[in-house]
Amino acid sequence: MDYIHVKDMEFWGNHGVFPEETRLGQRFRLSVSLALSLKEAGELDDLNKSVNYGDVFMRCERIMEGSPVKLLETLAETVANDLLTTYKGLVEGCRVEVIKPDPPIPGHYKEVSVEITRGRFS
């Protein structure tokens, strides 16, 4: 299995459980990994046999900066479903990590995140 990784994309979104999160917004980071065969794309030098990274970014941006949701889990599922549906027949699996660097919870930590894997991913 081959992989395309788009790591640490940064977005501003109004997601969260607390009213101030949806009102003020906050930073989010997102990393996605797509499992697919890149053999034909590499041999033919043909983007139509692969996934356009810029398109992946724009699709993720639309979701991450779009309508507010409460949970990171919802964002992760929405991104995974969108990518698997868009690239059906090409992408066999998708790993999505949604990172919230500054959640409004007490304590000292680097960040919180949710990571999901959907589809075949070996």
**CATH number reported for the structural domain that contains residue 114 in this entry:** 3.30.1130.10
Can you tell me the distance from the alpha carbon of 67 to that of 74, in angstroms, rounded to the nearest whole number?
11
At 122, the pLDDT band (50, 70, 90 cuts) reads low
Separation of alpha carbons 110 and 91, rounded Å: 32
Quote the domain boundaries for residue 91: 2-119
pLDDT digits (tens, 9 = 90+) for 25-53: 999 999 999 999 999 999 999 999 999 99
CA distance 29 to 106: 20
How many other C-beta atoms are found inside a 10 Å radius of the C-beta of residue 111? 11
Contact 57, 9 (CB under 8 A): yes
User: Residue 108's pLDDT is what?
Assistant: 85
Overall average pLDDT of the 53-69 stretch: 98
Write the pLDDT tens digit of every residue in 72-116: 999 999 999 999 999 999 999 999 999 999 888 888 888 999 999
100 has catalytic annotation: yes
- Residues 7, 49, 88, 100: which is the catalytic one? 100
Q: How many domains does the chain have?
A: 1
Q: Is the pLDDT of residue 18 over 70?
A: yes
Whether the per-residue pLDDT at 9 is higher than 80: the answer is yes
pTM for this model (two decimals): 0.94
Instruction: For residue 12, count other CB atoms closer than 10 A to its CB.
Output: 10
Mean pLDDT of 1-24: 95
